[in-house]
A and B are shown apart, each in its own frame.
Chain A
Amino acid sequence: DTGVSQDPRHKITKRGQNVTFRCDPISEHNRLYWYRQTLGQGPEFLTYFQNEAQLEKSRLLSDRFSAERPKGSFSTLEIQRTEQGDSAMYLCASSLAWPRTEAFFGQGTRLTVV
């Protein structure tokens, strides 16, 4: 599969624990996006990178959330001191900056905080 891949697919964690998710974009894509999707809602933008630079962060991204893309390839999203309200599907997407392409989504990581 040469699409966007995310790992793990499912994560159950206890409240207060830290979790980290990984996203591998389509190899030639230089833009990478993180979204959060709760049940019955559309995805909400969290942050995006062009190469290794984090260009924008949503107000939704509290200081417990941090994202990195150290070498401009894969990205990680870490949530510290998880709360029950963090339970959601975390989606990653990638695209080309030029020529501009649409965003291709991964299958997501479903986080459950108990």
Chain B
Amino acid sequence: GENVEQHPSTLSVQEGDSAVIKCTYSDSASNYFPWYKQELGKRPQLIIDIRSNVGEKKDQRIAVTLNKTAKHFSLHITETQPEDSAVYFCAASRGTSYGKLTFGQGTILTVHP
């Protein structure tokens, strides 16, 4: 089955800096790669996703890049703010279901004011 590895497990940055979280996946048939943000005690919420026919996608301060050949994808957050502090999960999916996901282990992002 699919295996998703996520690094780093913790990331601490100063407000205004950029943050990068990286994930690798094992199943070359995976075709959908979402990123979820989970604040303490709250539900995971999708912040950005990318499909395998696209190499990069941006949404304001957030971007995701995908390298299918190397089987890795990354989340980039620019101009970080304290409210970006949360746990971020990458995930991968194959086939027609965007909800059957294999998640990475998560990255605890702390943005210091």
Contacts and interface: CB of A to CB of B under 8 A. Distances in A.
A, B in one complex: yes
Interface of A: 3-4, 31, 33, 40-45, 48, 56, 91, 93-95, 97, 100-108
B: interface residue count bin: 20 to 34
A48 B100 CA distance: 7
Contact of B106 (A42, A100, A105, A106): A42
Nearest to B51: A100
Interface string B1-25: 0001010000000000000000000
Interface of B: 4, 6, 34, 36, 42-46, 49, 89, 91, 96-106
Given A105-B43, A106-B43, A107-B43, A31 B99 contact: yes
A100 B101 contact: no
